[in-house]
Structure 1
Amino acid sequence: MTSLHLLTLSLAGLVAANWNVSVAGTQCACAQIGSSYPDKLLFPTSANYTVEATSYWDIRDNLHPSCIFLPTSAKEVATAVKILTHCDAHFAVRGGGHMNFPGSNNIDNGVLIALSGMDQFTVHKETIDVGPGMTWYDVYSALDPYGRIAIGGRLKTIGVPGLTLIGGVHYFINKYGFAMDNVVRYEVVLGNGTQVVASATSHPDLFWALKGGANNFGIVTKFTLKTFAIPKISTTIQSYNESGICDYITALCDLVKLDEPNPIAAGGVFTINYNATTKVSTALLIGVQEGVSRPPSQFANFTAIPGQTKIHNVTTGKQFASGLITPNQMFRVMFSHHTVQPLPDTLYSIYQAWKRAVDEISDVQGLYPTFIMNLSPAGAARVAKTNGIGNVWGLDEQPMILWQFSTGWDLASDDIRVQTWSRRLAESLHAINKKKGISSEFVYMGDAGEWQDPFAGFPEANVQRMKAVRAAYDPLGTFSRLNWGGFKLGF
C-alpha cells in the first residue's frame, strides 16, 4: 500500500472520528471569514453560489462547500488561512478548476477558497507577475502586445497555479523546460497566515519544493514567470485514420528523441480518439514551433504521412491558444497514466490493447475515450539539471513518453465501473513494460488518476527533502491535515 493510500485512510479515519469537530470548524471559519469579508463570502443560498461551486472542468468536482470565499488580495488569503487554521476547518483551494477528480479543488461541507478574483498581472521586461486567478490564455493575452510568451498550459482554460505547481507541460519544454522551471519568484501564504517570498535567494528550500511539489506547502498568491521573445509561432494541425496511426506513433517517438545542441523549440498535443460504436480511430497532431517556418520543420515526419487534415499557419501564441478550448462541465472525466521509453512497437501495442478494452465498456453512456501521448524529451530535464535550482522531479536526461488514458462519460452510476476499468488496464500494461525494463515509475500529476501516487516515482532523497520543507514551513499541518485536495506527501 502506498504512502498516499495510507494517508488517505488515516485522514478518512480522522474525519469519521471527529466529524462534529469538522462541522464545528467549518461553522467557525465561515462565521469569522464572513465577519471580516461579508461581501466576499457565498453561502448555498447566495445568488452566485452555484456558479462558483460548479466552475470546474470535470463534473465530478461539483461538490457542496458550506461557504465559498472569493479573495482579491494576498492579505485576504492570509487572513482566511489564519482563520481556517485557528478553527481547525477543512478547506479546498481552486485556481482554474482543471484538475479532474473529486476533492482535488473543491470540498463537501468545508470551505472553498476560490482564487478567480486574483487575476492581476504586471508585465516587466523579461518577466510577468501573475495572480493565481488567471488562466494561461489570460497570460498569453497579457504578453501578446510585447511579442513574448511564457511557458505554461497548452489549452485555453487551464489555470496558472495548478499547472505550475505540479510541473507544467508546454509545447516548448524541449528548449525551455517545464512551467515550474520558469518561475523566478513565488509569493506564498503559509499555514499560519504568514506571507513569504520564495526565490533563489529568499527561502530557497521552499522555492525548490514549490517546483513540482504541488499544494503541500502553502497558497501561492503571485507567480513571477520568465518570458521569452517569440512574437510568432508556426503551427500545424493534422489528423490521420487507422492506416496512418502506426507511422504517427513512430513520428512522435522520433520527435521526442531529437536532442540537438541548439534546439528549435517545438512540441505538440498527440491524441487518438476511438469511437466504440463506429469502430473508427482518429489520430490528431496539434504541433507548435517557434518561428515562422511554414509548415513547421520539426514536424516533417508527420507531414509526410498521408492524412485526412493538414492545416499549417503562422500566428501568435495568444491567437493560437484562443481556439484550444476544453469547456467546463462537459463530462465526468478520469485519467490513468504511466511512463515508457519512446518505442513505437510498445506504444502501438498499448494503443491496440486500449482500443480492445474500450469495446468492453462501449455501452457506457456518453463514452469519450482518448489515448494521449505527452512527450518528455531529454532537453526538458536538462534545464533543471543546469539552472542551479533543479526541481522535485529529479528526472534523468532521457526521452520518455507519458502515456495516458483519458475517459469521459455521462452518468454517476458508471463512475466505479469506468474507474475500475481504467485503473486495471493501465496497471496491467505498465506491469508488462516494467517486466521488460522499459518503463519508469515517474507519474506526472497532471495526467495521473486519483488512485495514483506521483511522489512514489520521485527520487527518495527529494521526497524526504520535501517533507523537511513541509515540516519547517507548515508545522501545524494546515496543508496536509486540513487541505486534502490534490496529491499529498505521505508522512
Structure 2
Amino acid sequence: MAGIENGILFSMERMDKIDLAASKEVASLGPGNDWGRVFGTLENEGVAVTGGTLAVVGVPGLLTVNDLSHFISSRGFSSADIINFQIVLAGGNIVNANATSNADLWWALKGGSNNFGIVTRFDMATFPLPNGIWSGTLSYDMSQAKDVAEALYELQTGPLLEDPHIDVPYMEMIIPSIGLARVDAAPFTDMVNFTGCYPSAIKPLYSVGPQSVTASRKTLTQNTAEGVTSIMEVYTKRINRANLNVKASKGLYSEMAGMLFKHYNSSTIAGHTIGVSWNPITPHVVRETNRKGGVASGWQEFNQNSINLRVNWDNPADDSAAIAMDNAFMEKLTEVARKWDALMPNQWANNAAEHVDVMRSYGDDDFNRLRQVSRKYDGNQTFQRLCSGGYKLW
C-alpha cells in the first residue's frame, strides 16, 4: 500500500473474494487479493489467470499498469485478459467497464493506472492449467553474461517465436559489499509433457554451461512463492527503479551484457543491491493483446525486450548518491540502445523511474485518448488533483 502525507488511505485488503463462474471460464477477483492466494484457489479447479510472477504482489497494482506474467507470450499482457472492471467513479457511481459497456474506460484502465477511479472487482478470463508448470533458475558466473545474453537472443528470434508457451527472463545481480555478482536465466513453460530434463527449445541456455540449475516441474503456486522471503526483506529498504524498452538485437544484447557489473562494482553504499531483468516481448504478445481489445501502453509490434532496473540500499542519507548512480547507468544503456537503433519510446509503468512521464511515453494517440477518457468519467479531475501518486495525465 502507498499513502499521501496528510491524506486518506483506502485499504482494500478485506475485499478479497475470489469467485469462479460455474463454467470455470471467468474468475472475479477482489482488489484485496494477492496472486499467491488467487493462484492457489484457482489451481484447485484446474485453471489459472495471467497474474504476477510473485505470490506477494497485489492484484490491482499489477493489472492497472499492464504488468507482465509468465503467460505473456501465449496470452498477451496481464491486463489483456480482463473482461470487465467494476469501478467506483469520482462522483460515487459504480459502473462496469467492458467491451460492450463503457468500452473506452475498459481500455483506459488497462495501463492507465489510478487515473480514473477505484476498481472494486476484476473479472478475468481463465485458461486450463491441469498439470502445473516447469520453471526454475539457471545460474551463471558474471563472466558468462555475454554468452547467456546471446543465447537469449537466439531463443527470442527462434524458439520463442515458434512456441508462445515459453517465457525466458534474464537477470543480472550484484551486491558489491559482499562481492556477489551473478547472471540468472529463469525459463518457464506451462507445457510440461516434454521428455528429458528440460524443454528442447531452451537448449542454448544449457549449452552455455550454467553453474547451477534448480528448474523442475511444480505448481504455479509453488513457483510464485519461491523467493518471497528475500523479496519482502528488500521492501524494507530504500528502493529505486527504472525501465528501458529495446528492440531485439544480438549486437545490443552482447554490449549491454555485464554493463551492470562494471558500473556498480565499486559502490560503497551500505546495503547496495542492484538487479536488472530482461523480459522478452515478442510480436505475438502485442498481436494477442490487440486481438483482445488492446491496452493503454504504447507497445508496438516488434520483437523487443523490457529492461528493468531495481535497486535497494539501507540509508536515506545515501538516496542522492544511489539515484545518481542509477540515472548514470540508465543513460549508458540508452546511449547503447540508440547506437544500435533499438530504443523504443514507451515506458513500462510498473518499473519506470519516478521522474519519467510514463503516460506521455505511450505516444500521442494513446495519451490523448487517455485524457479524453479522464475528462469524460472524471470531469472535476478528482483523480488528477487529489490522488497524486502514480503517473498522471496532467
Fold shared per TM-score above 0.5: yes
Work out whether 1:146 is the aligned partner of 2:52. Answer: no
Work out whether 1:383 is the aligned partner of 2:288. Answer: yes
User: What does residue 97 of structure 2 align with?
Assistant: 198
- Superposed CA RMSD: 1.8
Q: How many residues align?
A: 385
Matches within 5 A, 1:101-180: 105-124=2-21, 125-180=24-79
d(CA) in 1 for partners of 2:161, 2:324: 44
1:233 maps to amino acid: I
2:171 maps to amino acid: T
Aligned-residue offset at 1:270 = 2.1
1:380 aligned counterpart, secondary structure: helix
Task: Report the structure, 1 or 2, having the larger helix content.
Answer: 1
Please, which of 399, 408, 413 is the counterpart of residue 312 of structure 2? 408
Evaluate the alpha carbon distance shift between residue 316 and residue 244 of structure 1 in structure 2; reply closer, same or farther with a 3 A threshold: same
Evaluate the alpha carbon distance shift between residue 132 and residue 258 of structure 1 in structure 2; reply closer, same or farther with a 3 A threshold: farther
Q: In terms of mean alpha carbon deviation, does 245-254 or 292-301 score higher?
A: 292-301
d(CA) in 1 for partners of 2:347, 2:119: 23
Matches within 5 A, 1:411-450: 411-450=315-354
Work out whether 1:282 is the aligned partner of 2:179. Answer: no
Aligned-residue offset at 1:384 = 2.3
1:212 maps to amino acid: G
Judge conservation of contact 1:272–1:281 (CA < 8 Å) in 2. Answer: yes
d(CA) in 2 for partners of 1:435, 1:295: 36
Q: In terms of mean alpha carbon deviation, does 364-373 or 391-400 score higher?
A: 391-400
Work out whether 1:182 is the aligned partner of 2:81. Answer: yes
Judge conservation of contact 1:288–1:296 (CA < 8 Å) in 2. Answer: no
Give the structure-1-normalised TM-score.
Answer: 0.75
Judge conservation of contact 1:156–1:324 (CA < 8 Å) in 2. Answer: no
d(CA) in 2 for partners of 1:297, 1:324: 26
1:215 maps to amino acid: N
1:464 aligned counterpart, secondary structure: helix
Judge conservation of contact 2:174–2:265 (CA < 8 Å) in 1. Answer: no
- Deviations along 1:98-121, one digit per CA (max 9) or x if unpaired, are xxxxxxx21211111111111111
d(CA) in 1 for partners of 2:158, 2:127: 22
d(CA) in 2 for partners of 1:400, 1:433: 12
Aligned-residue offset at 1:319 = 2.1
Aligned-residue offset at 1:303 = 1.9
1:373 aligned counterpart, secondary structure: strand
Please, which of 118, 143, 146 is the counterpart of residue 246 of structure 1? 146
Work out whether 1:369 is the aligned partner of 2:274. Answer: yes
d(CA) in 2 for partners of 1:259, 1:193: 49
d(CA) in 2 for partners of 1:136, 1:160: 6
Aligned-residue offset at 1:312 = 2.9
2:112 aligned counterpart, secondary structure: coil
2:137 maps to amino acid: I
1:370 aligned counterpart, secondary structure: strand
Judge conservation of contact 1:264–1:290 (CA < 8 Å) in 2. Answer: no
Aligned-residue offset at 1:333 = 1.2
d(CA) in 1 for partners of 2:135, 2:332: 36
Aligned-residue offset at 1:344 = 3.5
d(CA) in 2 for partners of 1:444, 1:116: 25
d(CA) in 1 for partners of 2:368, 2:188: 37
Judge conservation of contact 2:149–2:257 (CA < 8 Å) in 1. Answer: no
Work out whether 1:338 is the aligned partner of 2:244. Answer: yes
Unaligned ranges ≥5, structure 2: none
1:114 aligned counterpart, secondary structure: coil
2:286 aligned counterpart, secondary structure: helix
- Deviations along 1:393-438, one digit per CA (max 9) or x if unpaired, are 2422211111122111000001111112212321243134225421
Aligned-residue offset at 1:343 = 2.2
Evaluate the alpha carbon distance shift between residue 287 and residue 352 of structure 1 in structure 2; reply closer, same or farther with a 3 A threshold: closer
Aligned-residue offset at 1:359 = 3.0
Q: In terms of mean alpha carbon deviation, does 389-398 or 165-174 score higher?
A: 389-398
When Rg is computed on C-alpha atoms for both structures, the one with the higher figure is 1
User: What does residue 210 of structure 2 align with?
Assistant: 307
1:108 aligned counterpart, secondary structure: coil
User: What does residue 266 of structure 1 align with?
Assistant: 166
User: What does residue 298 of structure 1 align with?
Assistant: 201
Judge conservation of contact 2:161–2:282 (CA < 8 Å) in 1. Answer: no
2:187 aligned counterpart, secondary structure: strand
Aligned-residue offset at 1:259 = 7.0
d(CA) in 2 for partners of 1:243, 1:430: 23
d(CA) in 2 for partners of 1:408, 1:126: 40
d(CA) in 2 for partners of 1:308, 1:259: 23
Judge conservation of contact 1:170–1:267 (CA < 8 Å) in 2. Answer: no
1:475 maps to amino acid: G
User: What does residue 122 of structure 2 align with?
Assistant: 223
Unaligned ranges ≥5, structure 1: 1-96, 98-104
- Deviations along 1:145-180, one digit per CA (max 9) or x if unpaired, are 111111010011111101100001011211100111
2:10 aligned counterpart, secondary structure: strand
